[in-house]
Every structure is written in structure tokens, then in C-alpha cells.
Structure 1
Amino acid sequence: MTKVRWHLAALCGVVTALVLGLIAVAPASGATGVTATFSKSSDWGSGYEGKYTITNGGTSAISSWTVEFELPAGNTVGSVWDGAKTTNGNRVTVKSTWNGNVAPGASASFGFNATYSGNSGNPVYCRIDGGTCDGTGVTPTTTTPPPTTTTTNNPGPGGKINLGYFAQWTVYARNYHVKNIHTSGSAAKLTHINYAFGNVSNGQCVMGDRDADIDKFYDAGASVDGVADSWDAGALRGNFNQLRKLKKMYPHIKVLYSFGGWTWSGGFGQAAQNPGAFAESCQKLVEDPRWADVFDGIDIDWEYPNACGLTCDASGFGSFKVLSEALRDRFGSSYLVTAAITADGSNNGKIDKADYGGAAASLNWYNVMTYDYFGGFSPQGPTAPHSPLTSYPGIPADGFNSDAAIQKLKSKGVPASKLLLGIGFYGRGWTGVTQSAPGGSATGPAPGDQGEAGIADYKTLKTRCPATGTVGGTAYAKCGNEWWSYDTPATIGGKMGYTKTQGLGGAFFWELSGDTSNGELITAMSNGLK
């Protein structure tokens, strides 16, 4: 990281894409003129990403839709976005959520990941609101009786999100580049990358670091694909071009442009005063024709709405919901719109300060920053793990653990499938510690290796200060007079088990450069989410 702390509470194997054209399937519509069309965007040999586009070709608006389809034997739907899924065997029913209102001539859509053994096939049966997908309103014929639909909250095997942050400044002193995502083997295990950060200034989305983002030259040896950047006028360089090349090599990866973070969250309050103008500025930047193909979504990292982070915000309980709605309206239903949010599960804590339940209807998922609960920013201690999964006797603060945050968000109406558990690829530590067990006193933060005292990468700590115990579902280490806490492959395995048990949408981590050169931690996440 840089000298500033950016975050404080902060699918397969190598794939071969098979990009297909729009594949029409027997349409589904009880309302004459309303159609549902199936398409695949990629197929990696053991799964694919599918999409249904609902188009209102009628003369009257519709306020909701339900698409029902059936996959061939050996095909299974995993995660679904922009719709609510229920399943019974190979029959899948998806109902509209926030995107049910479709005006005449307009379209809405939902997407899904599917896995298969043997051959991949298109849906063999489809209907919308009880009628065929071709808009005639006729009830479709089927060789199997319509099943009684059973609700499931589990996104399904192989359908979990595994998202990692790429921090733009790692290309400088840390010497970590987009190519490292490939050479470490991490790209094959990621589903999404959040590119951090864009700034929020004067109520608008603006570029964070032009040199790193679009100007930095990569020669053939440093480039993802072994081809040097062009110096031609108007040619795209920097991280954006490297991400473009990475996506060509790994077409299953989706990239989101993340705005804000610990240092740049101060502008969100002003943005919330005119959310429409803010959303317009973000869309123009993210979808700039020079790099529109790089990004599949936008992520908002506001630390924290109607609460205090680096600065204090007083925009009100509803500001985050309004901002999220504006972004969804501007980017549309086919674009990913997500948010990184607080994991403060205490009574009257940060989760209680904003309408996270209401905003969830406009967002694909939340990256719940279940880390940085405790650390050397409290110089005298007591020592405690910065990313506890659960509470434990003697924990310094009630509600400061991952499970408390997840349960509180669920209680506010956020679907479990829209929650991603956060993992830190770093540790936090103290010096002047004599007690091996958690709860000891300290004299200050331990020497760090990221330009900030009290914080160090996993790749450093695994040999500098190996783990000596576990507490609250995560690891800690005592070496000399230093005390550190961090996640290991073993504790990540336990956290991924929790993710599946709770029916969460998956997990994410901050950030890629903290892992080992062969991706130990992301491998543990990927294996644990299967």
C-alpha cells in the first residue's frame, strides 16, 4: 500500500473462452409481446456464464417478470445476479427484483453461472410469466411435468464469487503488476477484480492516478501478453491496458472500477447531494470509449456513510441508498454495481447508521470489510486478531467480528447471497508484547513493510513471524516482543466453510500483492469455495 492506509475496516483452471452470439431459445411470455432471449458470453470447459434478456415488445409497461427454464442433464445453475432464483432439479425459476419495471420497447436482464459435466447445452425449456419466450403468450409444451419449485439460498457449487482487489499504487515501490496476477496462477482462480481506486472529488468520479491507470509504459517483458505497449497517439497503456490483456487471456474474469477507499471517501457526502450528477460522472468515466471494454462494473467504497472514517459524514441515514439507486439507474440492469461496506456489527455501530438493507435492492453484492477490527492503531493494545471470524472470551469489543456483521446485515434484509466475506492478505501487529496469548499489552505498532507501522504482508509474515496459535477462527503469532494476527491457508479454509454454510455469495480479499508469488492464499480461497 501507499503511505496512507486506504482500507481501514477495508473458475476454474486456465480458461478458453467460447464467445457465442445471441442464441435465441424458445421464448417465455404470458404477456403477449414480452420475450426472453438466452445468450452465452463465455464457456471455459466446465462451466459458462449465461444471460436472459427480457424485452417488452408490447404496448403496456410490465411491473414484474418470472422466467422459468430447464437445463440439460449434467448442467447446474450456480449464482444468479439481478434476479431471485429458486430451483427444483434442473428446472430454474428467476423472478425480478429491483428490475421488474420494463417499459414498452425497453429491456431488463439477469445473468447466471452454470457448471456442467460432459457437454454444455442451452436451456431445453423456457417460459416467461407462464407463456412461451417468443412473445406469443402461448403455454409451451414440455416433456416433463412442471416441478414444484423449492427455494434455495445456496448459490450452488462452483458458483461462488472469488474477488480480489488490485491496488493501482502497487506498480511503484511494491513492484506488483497486472502480469503478476497471471504468473502467480491467481487469474485462473479469480472471478472478479476490483481496481482501486478512483477518486471522488467535487461530487464526481475522477481518475485516481493517471500515470498508473492509463499512461505507464509496459515493455514486452513486463506486459501480460508479452507485447509491448504502443507509443502511438491515443494508445491506451498503464493498468487499464494490462487489465484488457488479462481479460483476453482469462475471459471469465470481470473487472470493476472501485471508487473511494479510506483516503478518498470524503467526497461521497457532496456526491449524495446530487446523486444523479454523480452517477452521470461515474458512467462517463468508467465507460469512456477508450477503455469501456475493460470494466464490467462499478464498486463504491464509502468509508462511511453517515458515520466517521478518516473524516465524518453527516449526509443522513438514506444517503447511501439514494446514491446506490442513482448508480443503478444510470448504469442499467446489465452492469455490476457493488459496494464495499463497514463490518461494524456492534449495537448502534456503523451498520446501523445507513440504510444498507434498502440499498441492497440496487446492488449486486456487498464486499463486507471483515478485517481491521483491531491493530497497532491502538498502540497499547490489548492484542487481538484484526479479522476474527467469531467472538471469543476476552475480545476487546462486542460486535467486532465477522459473524456479528454478517448476521446484522441479514437482519436488515440483505440477502445472504449478496454478502461477500472479506479476507485480509496481510497482518496487523504490535511491539513491546510479552504475553503470547491474545489480550496482552504493547508499547506501539510493530515495524511494518508496507510504508505503515503495524501492517505487513502475509508473504512476509509467514516466515518473519510464523503463526503460533488461533483464536476466533484466525491465526496469531508471537515472535520476540512482536505479536501479529493474520489469516493462513488453514484459517481461510475455515472461513470459506463458514461462507458456504451461511449461503453467502462468496468472498473477497484485500489485496493481490500481499499473497505469495505462487498465490497460497487465493488458492486456499478458491479451494474452500468449491
Structure 2
Amino acid sequence: MPRPGGRRAIALAGAATLTAATALLTAPPASSAGTVTATCKKGSDWGTGFDGSCTITNGTGSAVNGWRLEADMPSGTSVGNVWDATKTVSGNHYTFTNAGWNGTIAPGASVGFGFGGSGSGWFANCTVNGASCDGTGTPGGDTEAPAAPSGLRSTGKTATSVTLAWNASTDNVGVTGYDVYNGGAKAASTTGTGATVGGLSAKTAYTFIVKARDAAGNTSPASASVAVTTDEGGSGGGDKIVGYFVDWGVYQRNYHVKNIETSGSAGKLTHINYAFGNVQGGKCTVGDSYADYERAYTADQSVDGAGDTWDQPLRGSFNQLRKLKKLHPGLKVLWSFGGWTWSGGFGQAAQNPAAFAESCYDLVEDPRWADVFDGIDIDWEYPNACGLTCDTSGPNALKNVLSALRSTFGSNNLVTAAITADASDGGKMDATDYAGASQYVDWLNPMTYDYFGAWAAQGPTAPHSPLTSYPGIPQAGFNSAETIAKLKAKGVPASKLLLGIGFYGRGWTGVTQSEPGGAATGPAPGTFEAGIEDYKVLKGKCPATGTVGGTAYAKCGGEWWSYDTPSTIGGKMAFAKDQGLGGAFFWELTGDTANGELIGAMRGGLG
């Protein structure tokens, strides 16, 4: 998925020699009562650089919706990293506008932003919303309203929410935000060109408009309206719960098939995806023979308490899965091929889909373990688009591969595929014919997680698996509701879609802001990889402190994490039912607690 750039990285070198700098404005004068004012000051100054902050205070009797601070810097001085605001530069003139979450200032309240700079100078000619920062004078004559937003449209809906998008407005100075109205009532405010309006009733018609505003408080005419009827509520959906079991989990993570049983998860699962087989030379191949079918299990490690013998024909996780299926006769197991690291082989496989499908069938149905597997899962990241590598296989490649697999595996075996969740305009979902591919599968697993993470090392912080959009989200189309809506709009049946859940969190370090959108200095430390950690660790290490977009986030010390909890999973399962989806899936079993908290929430939510 596209990954947004970072924002903040300040090294406070020579801290012992730092001297306090004078403020641009120490306090608003008495004449500023009833106005919006700004106070900007340096926090530290080490001669060749500094860090600073600005506080905008609403001294009026009504809320301020959007702010814009402008100032000039002398030659040789510049502002670099900025957090909690958006910066634009023209020569030596700097403009800072509010972020998505701090544009509204209640009467008497204040908000702020920070920055780092180089050089020894400081702000001059400071204005806020067109008037002097110290509250004197009048706004700088900006009485021209922005143009009305155009192209208002619905990009997704549920029984209780509608997601909207529109084209950006123009203004003689600059647009600072948009207000969405549901009928005559303001329903949402945002700095972007999209918003989700929640709290709606099922199967009900609503009419929406949007207006733009600028820093001087001018409001545009209303856009053309759009009428949307929410989906029917309580329609229900499927009860599939598909969990990934990773073959490498038997090493450092010390997670084995027996853990699926002892955690109580086996009884809640309908399917297991065994990950991963490799794709090489146009064929399906074994990923890890030792973990898959060679490793010997002792009696205490085995699902049924019987240890492996040296001469038995099948050992390893495959044999343990066979034993697990005997305890749970309704449980199905699919062998997943590809994944992030091994998707590069699908391009060659797509050149001869029939030969590829035949190789996969021969491997999955190998007589040594044919009874273990009930079908095949394809995890191609991403067809005709870029993942770890890029391919130009064409928009029909996935459809052709899945058609060949269905023909070869027949109707008595399952064929499924994990797919992109990138619903942005022109994104990965638009590069492949997913609707055409869906006719050959039992279901698709859109990977509705990893939308955001510390690959953008300096932030902004954002939840990696938002259910819905929210004001200030870094990328439009990066949330589960819009993903499902776009796939359905393309023609994929809801019953063939499963909602993806991550049993882990993604996090940053060097974060000072509790809410999403803060700057960072890099990925937070993780047990096995920086920037990622299992739920079972995070629930104790960094308990959730808030929710946004239908998922949880946590601030602990300088670390900021986002992850799903049993509560937010409950909300996501309600969404899956309202949408009539086939169920849900998750990545992956080792992230859950020893008693299966998260899978329990999934089963409880789907019924």
C-alpha cells in the first residue's frame, strides 16, 4: 500500500548549552479581548538551530472552525519539521494550517503546534486568520469565500454510516477545511476531501451537502446535494472465522498446533490457513519442510498426547493438524501460498496458469498429507501492482490463475485468495479484475490491516486497521468500510468477502501526542521486529487509551500503538454482519492470548 512520508525528527544536540529564547508574543495585549490570538516562542536554541511552538487561543464567544497562522522568516533561517499542523512555504513566507484533529477551538480554549528550524532568526509579521497575532488590527481584507465543492458522491455505506468524497474547492488565499451537513445539521468537519458520517439509521434516506471554509471564516456556497439510503440493518452474514497458522511460529514464538487446542481457539475456528508455501519456477513448492512435515513432536507437545516415532511417514505441523481435525471434524484446513516475501513468483505462474494449478494440486494432494488439506489459498501481494516487488502481469492475471485452480481442484475443494485492501482512487484495487476473479473462489480475504505503520518512521501516527475514516486520516480509501464498499461496487458479492482482523499492533516511538496524527522518531521496539508487537504483549505493556475509526490506540511513555481489542473487534463483527459478509479472518494465531481473547470476541460477534 502507499505509505505516507514522515514529519518530525529533531536532535537536541548540545543540550547543556541551550538557552531560552524570547517569545515572539509574550501575551496578548488588553485590546485583544474578543479576538483570536497566537503566541509563538522558541523552546531551545543552540545557535545554528532551534525548536519552537505556537499556541492559538480563541478569545471570542463562539467556536473557531479552522485556523491559519502566517509569518515571515529572515534570510538564513528556515522551519523544517512541523507537527500538529500543515506547512506551506513561498520564499521566506510560511503558512501553517490546522491538522484534522485540532481545527476546532472552543471559546476560551487553545491549541498548538510545534516545529524545528535552522538558523538564528525568528518570526516576523505574524498573522492568525488574517489578523495580527497579538490581536490588534483587523483581518487582512480577505472577504472572498471559497468556491463550492464539486463532485460530492457516496463512496460507501453501511446500515449506520455513509462515506462521502468530493473534489477540492479553490480559494483566493486557501481552503482550511470542509463541513458536511446531513440535512440542515452539521454532521462532520474535516481538512480533507472525504468523511464518514456515522450514527445513522438502517434503510433510511439521507441528503448530504458540503461547504468549504477559509482561515478568515468565509464559507462557500453549498455543493450539489447527494442522496444516500443506508443499508438494511440486521441482515446478518456468514459465520466463517478463518485463522492463519504460520509455519515459522514453531521456532522463536514456540507456538504449535497444540496451542490452537489448549487456547480454546480450535472450537471457534471454521478454517485454518497454513502459511506459507512458496511459489517458484511457475509452481507451488514447499516452504519449510522441517516445520511442515519433518519435525518430531514429543507426547507433551502433541495435540493428542501421543509422541511421534522415528519411522512414521508424516510428522511436523501437518501431522499435528491431522490430529486436530480428528478432534474437530468440522474444521477445514487450506494451504496458503505466497505471502509478502514469496509473491514474486506469481508473475511467472500467471504465464501458464494451467501448469501452475496442476503443480499446486499435486503438492496439496500429495498422498502423505492429502487428508490434511481441504483446498488452497492464494496470497498474491499484489497482482499487476507493487508489493515487495512489482509485476506487470496484467489486470486478468489473478482471474486466470484462480480460474485454472478452480478447474483443477474442482468443486469439492476450497479455493480462496487474500487480496489488497487499498480502496484509494487508482490504487491497487483498480489494477486487477477482482470481480472477475471472485467468480472462481469460495471467498476473498481483503487484508484490512496494515493501512498505516512505522515504515513512515516519522509519522503521522495512525491506526493500522481503521474500520472507518476519521478527520485527519493520512490517506483516503485506507479503511475497512471503504474497502468493502469498493469491492461490492465492483461486483464482488458480499457473501464472498471476509473482514480482516490483525492480532497485533503497529507502533512508533518518540511520540509526544496522545491522539492520532502525532510525529515520531521511528518504529517502536517489538519482540521480533521493530514497529510491530502481538496483542498479548500490548494489552499489558501499553493498554488502550482511546479509540478512533473503530479501532483502539494507546500512548505509553514515548510509544504510540494501535491495535484491536475484544471491544473494537465486537464493533467490527457487527459491521461484518450488517454488510452481509461471509465472516471474518485474522492474521495470525500467535498474537492472541493463551486463552484466545480475540478469537473469542470474533466468535461472540458473529454468533
* Counterpart amino acid of residue 271 in structure 1: A
Give the structure 2 partner of residue 271 of structure 1: 349
* Cα distance in 1 for residues equivalent to 2:436 and 2:490: 8
- For 1:439, which of 506, 517, 540 is the aligned residue? 517
SS at match of 1:317: coil
**What are the superposed Cα offsets for residues 468-489 of structure 1, whole Å, 9 maximum, x if unpaired?**
0000000000000000000000
* Counterpart amino acid of residue 452 in structure 2: F
Q: For the Cα contact (< 8 Å) 2:236–2:577, is it kept in 1?
A: no
- For 1:490, which of 567, 580, 601 is the aligned residue? 567
**What are the superposed Cα offsets for residues 186-215 of structure 1, whole Å, 9 maximum, x if unpaired?**
000000000000000011000000000000
Q: CA deviation at 1:230?
A: 2.2
Q: For the Cα contact (< 8 Å) 2:233–2:578, is it kept in 1?
A: no
Give the structure 1 partner of residue 20 of structure 2: none
- Establish whether residue 180 from structure 1 lines up as the match of residue 259 from structure 2: yes
- Establish whether residue 379 from structure 1 lines up as the match of residue 461 from structure 2: no
Q: CA deviation at 1:299?
A: 0.1
Q: CA deviation at 1:153?
A: 12
Shift of the 367–304 alpha-carbon distance from structure 1 to 2, 3 Å rule, reads same
Q: CA deviation at 1:155?
A: 8.7
Shift of the 471–275 alpha-carbon distance from structure 1 to 2, 3 Å rule, reads same
Give the structure 1 partner of residue 401 of structure 2: 323
- For 1:192, which of 271, 277, 282 is the aligned residue? 271
Matches within 5 A, 1:359-438: 359-438=437-516
* Cα distance in 1 for residues equivalent to 2:458 and 2:421: 23
* Cα distance in 2 for residues equivalent to 1:153 and 1:305: 34
- For 2:250, which of 166, 171, 175 is the aligned residue? 171
- Establish whether residue 510 from structure 1 lines up as the match of residue 587 from structure 2: yes
Q: For the Cα contact (< 8 Å) 1:155–1:417, is it kept in 2?
A: no
Matches within 5 A, 1:117-128: none
SS at match of 1:284: helix
Aligned length: 377
- Establish whether residue 161 from structure 1 lines up as the match of residue 254 from structure 2: no
Give the structure 2 partner of residue 227 of structure 1: 306
Give the structure 2 partner of residue 307 of structure 1: 385
Q: For the Cα contact (< 8 Å) 1:259–1:299, is it kept in 2?
A: yes
How many percent of aligned residue pairs carry the same amino acid?
73
- Establish whether residue 212 from structure 1 lines up as the match of residue 291 from structure 2: yes
Q: CA deviation at 1:154?
A: 8.7
- Establish whether residue 282 from structure 1 lines up as the match of residue 364 from structure 2: no
Q: For the Cα contact (< 8 Å) 1:155–1:505, is it kept in 2?
A: no
* Counterpart amino acid of residue 186 in structure 1: S
Q: CA deviation at 1:235?
A: 1.3
Q: CA deviation at 1:303?
A: 0.1
* Counterpart amino acid of residue 445 in structure 1: P
* Counterpart amino acid of residue 410 in structure 1: K
Give the structure 1 partner of residue 125 of structure 2: none
- Establish whether residue 349 from structure 1 lines up as the match of residue 427 from structure 2: yes
* Cα distance in 2 for residues equivalent to 1:347 and 1:461: 34
Q: For the Cα contact (< 8 Å) 1:153–1:417, is it kept in 2?
A: no
Unpaired runs of at least 5, structure 1 = 1-7, 9-151
RMSD (Å) for aligned C-alpha atoms: 1.4
* Counterpart amino acid of residue 482 in structure 1: E
* Cα distance in 1 for residues equivalent to 2:282 and 2:425: 31
* Cα distance in 2 for residues equivalent to 1:228 and 1:518: 24
* Counterpart amino acid of residue 364 in structure 1: D
SS at match of 1:300: strand
Unpaired runs of at least 5, structure 2 = 4-231
* Cα distance in 2 for residues equivalent to 1:295 and 1:353: 31
Task: Provide runs of 4+ in structure 1 moved above 4 Å.
Answer: 152-157
SS at match of 2:350: helix
* Cα distance in 2 for residues equivalent to 1:400 and 1:291: 39
Q: For the Cα contact (< 8 Å) 1:153–1:503, is it kept in 2?
A: no
Structure (1 or 2) with the greater strand fraction: 2
* Cα distance in 2 for residues equivalent to 1:194 and 1:154: 29
Give the structure 2 partner of residue 452 of structure 1: 529
Q: CA deviation at 1:252?
A: 1.1
Q: CA deviation at 1:216?
A: 0.4
Give the structure 1 partner of residue 117 of structure 2: none
SS at match of 2:376: strand
Q: For the Cα contact (< 8 Å) 1:303–1:341, is it kept in 2?
A: yes
* Cα distance in 2 for residues equivalent to 1:473 and 1:297: 33
* Counterpart amino acid of residue 164 in structure 1: G
Q: For the Cα contact (< 8 Å) 1:422–1:509, is it kept in 2?
A: yes
- Establish whether residue 521 from structure 1 lines up as the match of residue 598 from structure 2: yes
* Cα distance in 2 for residues equivalent to 1:324 and 1:385: 32
- Structure possessing the higher radius of gyration over alpha carbons: 2
Q: CA deviation at 1:298?
A: 0.2
SS at match of 1:197: strand
Q: For the Cα contact (< 8 Å) 1:153–1:416, is it kept in 2?
A: no
SS at match of 1:267: helix
Q: For the Cα contact (< 8 Å) 2:458–2:522, is it kept in 1?
A: yes
Q: TM-score, normalised by structure 1?
A: 0.70
Give the structure 2 partner of residue 82 of structure 1: none
SS at match of 1:165: strand
Shift of the 153–285 alpha-carbon distance from structure 1 to 2, 3 Å rule, reads farther
* Counterpart amino acid of residue 480 in structure 1: G
Shift of the 167–155 alpha-carbon distance from structure 1 to 2, 3 Å rule, reads farther
Give the structure 1 partner of residue 549 of structure 2: 472
SS at match of 1:273: coil
* Cα distance in 1 for residues equivalent to 2:299 and 2:440: 42
